[in-house]
Amino acid sequence: MQSQDSTNRTAGAVKHPDATEWMAFLYGEVAPERKRELETHLAECGDCAAELTNWRSGMTALDDWKLPVKRRTPHRALPVLKWAAAAALVLGAGFLAGRQFSPARAELAELKASVAQLAESVQRERVNLTNSVNVATAAANAETLRLLSGYSQLQAGQRITDQQAIALAMRNFETRLGRLRIELETVALNTENGFEQTRENMTRLASFSAPLPNETDTPRP
């Protein structure tokens, strides 16, 4: 395969660019910096230059195949043309009717009237279109606003509920704290009473046992 050959070719220390890279080069798809490098290589490498000449001649040959030129020019997507066609129809009809039934002046007047009417209808259509666009935009805006306000209301409601829940929890907590404090105080009071009693007992015990050392000091007869 040619492409594989060109992938693996090397001349001395120089690595030849890949054939696929030359394709990108030929179709202007390489970065400017790399392009300069490739051009430098090309100036020095006869093998690559020969290959490129070959590919270029293929590309030139491709340019020789021209397709038939399409003769009709389709503009069917243009709504303007539809209006123009409608206008032409109305005008033509008006003109014919005028010619059939009235003298030239009346004809002219009628023509003018129909043109005016047509202009008016075009104008009306344009206004309608603008209006409908405006209405649609306004509706979209209103809808967005409504959604946004709904969302923010929802958010606000949520916040209030949260706050209430927190307040309730705080109140509960405080009540429990109060109760705890009272219990603690009771315990403390009890403890203090206990201490008091103990001290009293100890004092009493001390005073009770005070004569004892004397008794032991005195030698027994």
Partner 1 sequence: MSRLITSLFAASDEQTMWRVKTQDDPQAFARLVARWEGPIRRLCARMTGDTHRAEDLTQTAFARVFAARADWQPSGKFSTFLWRIALNLCHDELRKTKRRGECSLEGLEDGNGSAADLFATDDLSPDAQADVRERGELVRRAMQELPAHYRAVVVLRHYEHLKFHEIAEVLGIPEGTAKSRMVEALTQLNRLLKHVNEDTPCNHKIQRTELRAL
**For binding to partner 1 (CB under 8 A), which residues are involved?**
1-3, 6, 19-24, 27, 29, 54-55, 57-59, 61-62, 64-70, 74-80, 122, 126, 129, 133
Based on CB atoms, which residue is closest to partner 1, 74 or 221?
Answer: 74
Cβ 57 to partner 1 shortest distance, Å? 6
Amino acid at 53: T
In the complex, least distance from residue 70 CB atom to partner 1, rounded to whole angstroms = 7
- Say how far apart CA 177 and CA 189 lie, in whole Å: 18
> Looking at beta carbons only, is 81 or 96 nearer to partner 1?
81
From CA 11, how far away is CA 17, in angstroms rounded?
Answer: 11
Output the smallest distance, CB 167 to partner 1, in A.
Answer: 49
Q: Which is nearer to partner 1, 30 or 98 (CB)?
A: 30
The answer for residues whose C-beta is within 8 angstroms of residue 82's C-beta and 6 or more apart is none
Residue that has been written with the tokens 């033509």 in this structure: 92
Give the HSE-up count for residue 106: Cα atoms under 13 Å, Cβ half-sphere.
Answer: 8
Q: Which residue number, 29 or 174, has a Cβ lying nearer to partner 1? A: 29
Tell the smallest beta-carbon distance from residue 24 to partner 1 (Å).
6
CB of 93 to partner 1, least distance (A): 23
Nearer to partner 1, 31 or 65 (CB): 65
Dihedral sign (CA 48, 54, 55, 59): positive
11: DSSP letter: E
Min dist. Cβ of residue 84 to partner 1 (A): 12
How far apart CA 4 and CA 20 sit, in angstroms, is 10
Given the complex with partner 1, which of 65 and 219 has the nearer CB atom? 65
CB 97 within 8 A of CB 110: yes
